[in-house]
Structure 1
Amino acid sequence: MTRVLVVEDDPQLVRALVINMQVRRYEVDAVSDGAPALRLAAARPPDVVILDLGLPDMDGVDVIEALRGRSRVPVLVLSARQASDEKVAALDVGADDCITEPFSMDELTARLRAAVRRVRETPAAPGTTVVETDEFTVDLLAKKVVRGRHDVRLTPTEWRLLEILITNPGRLITQQYLLQEVWGVSQSIKTNYLRVYMAQLRRKLEADPAHLRHLITEPGLGYRFEG
């Protein structure tokens, strides 16, 4: 049975989450503060953490950093719509996904299942350098992309963006992280760089750039690769 740790200080939301999770046959632990959450995660390691960033005793970002120091457990962040800076900070320190309030339980549980599935999937064998999708194949060692038996020519910048995304499958990679890694800048005013290069990658790799399957945008946050 999948164990979920809910870290949330709103009693009504906690009650709703616990009831809905238990109905869906999840085992649920719930705490309202960050420090008890870290102790419980060490004593009874969860399969996934649902975390509110606005905790009474400590910043939710600090909770994620502490978890990441000892575990790769998926962390799903609950965040208010206006708190985009907090969501970006949480993703940058290792959160796996952000869910904006208000949300439906169907959406939450779908994202929860996806996060747990990504962690439980068998890791690639050591030395594996090839990533395959139904549209294209990427050879990380040779720095080569093939689509429909034809080589795809990528610029160095396009390649670096693609490399970061495909080596973090299913993970939301923030705009700030990509800007820092590719261009050495972290300011959001440079996001036009990302839009231009991601559009170019999609034209080269997606079967239909109007209906994206692999290079997904999370508006205002970043990008995600789905295999």
Structure 2
Amino acid sequence: MCVGFVHQCFYEVFDHLGPHNAWWVWNPDSDPNQPSIAAVPINSIYLFATLGPFVLTWLVKTLACNAGASSSRIVGGTVLAGLLTPLVLVVASAPSAVAGMLAGDAKTTAQGIVMMTVVAVFAVVALTVLPAEWRRNRTSGTADDRSSRNFVMLGGSTFCAVFLGLWIAALPDLLTNDATRHPGSVLYAGVCFILAALIVAAVATGTPRAFDREPQSASTSSADDAQEKPQPHVEPAG
């Protein structure tokens, strides 16, 4: 669920800017694209941004990442996970579809309420688990994977910097409510951007405290050893 929440935070920064910049256009007359938040269908936030990454991650972990799994099991499980993900998403979208049918119209807010309730549950779980995991990692005495941490720091910070610039460039049009554009929600994207930036910052600062000053400690120890090393005794010349 944390994977789905984190993916949604980054994805919606992009998803709400795309229609404004005409990278793609949503058809508001299509039933699957309603209801929406500004120009972005809630279905996109629910299925593509949140539920999809969650389902794919769960399937990969279940089918391919068991302890001691062979290389063929990993490859086969990964491929199978990719094939099963669309099918699972069809089943997962059933509650919102049923809500729309019960309300008598696929475009009713009942669908949106069901989908955004699920998104909210993901957020509650992730915002509970992620800070706890950050604190646990900080107090851990075990070294973590610095290569993965560096990858997230580089990729995440680059993503945030690029899209901050793109959003700033788009703001004049967004503030004038240009009717020829189809903007997403600045508020929703802004909240997601703040959360995405905080996630990158958490990764950058999540190193176990015991290893924060490891290089300094090593150099200090070397200096101390050099100071404590006995100096050779030289007899005075006769």
TM-score of the aligned structures, taking structure 1 as reference length: 0.22
TM-score computed with the length of structure 2 as normaliser: 0.22
Larger Rg: 2
More helix by share: 2
